[in-house]
Amino acid sequence: MELKALLGMLIMAGARKDNHLTTEEMFSPALGCPFYRSAMSERCFAFLMRSLRFDDAATRTDSLKTDKFASIREVWNTVIQHCIGNYSPGPHLTVDEQLLAFRGRCSFCIFIPNKPAKYGIKLVMACDAESHYTCNAIPYCGSTTGANRVISQQGHIAGGVF
C-alpha cells in the first residue's frame, strides 16, 4: 500500500511540477500541497525514496560494466513495451531527442548549453505526430564503440515501433 501511495505521490509531483522541490518543501504546511501530507509522513517518504531500488545488488557491478542504464533497464523496458503494445500510432511519427532535466548522480547525464534545463538525461523518442503519444524511447547512455554502437538512433527507434 505504501509503494502505491509513493508512486501516486511521484506522479502527482510530476503533474504539479513539484519534482524540483525538496522533501521539506513538498511536506511544508505553508508551501506544500496537502495531498502529500495526507498520503504519508515526510519521514516515511524520505525512507522509501532512499531505499527504492530496481536492480539486483548482487549483479549490479557486472551489469553496469556493459549497460549504464542497467539499474532501471527492466522497469524502463516494461514501460516502453506497454507504450508500444497499448497504442496504434497514426501514419505520421516524429522522431526527436528530449532532455529530461536531472541533476542527480548519473554517469550518463549530459550538458546541453542551449536547452532550458541544461543538465539531464537525453532520450531519443518516437511519438505520434497527432496525439504526441510516446510510441518508443531509447535513453542515450553515452557513446559506445564496436558492435554495440547504434549508427542512427533515429532509424533504430523508429524501426522498433512496428
So what's the pLDDT on residue 57? 75
**Residues of the chain predicted below pLDDT 70:** 143-162
Alpha carbons 76 and 65: distance in angstroms, whole number: 18
Alpha carbons 78 and 94: distance in angstroms, whole number: 22
So what's the pLDDT on residue 42? 94
So what's the pLDDT on residue 109? 86
pLDDT tens column, 96-128: 888 888 877 788 888 888 888 888 889 999 999
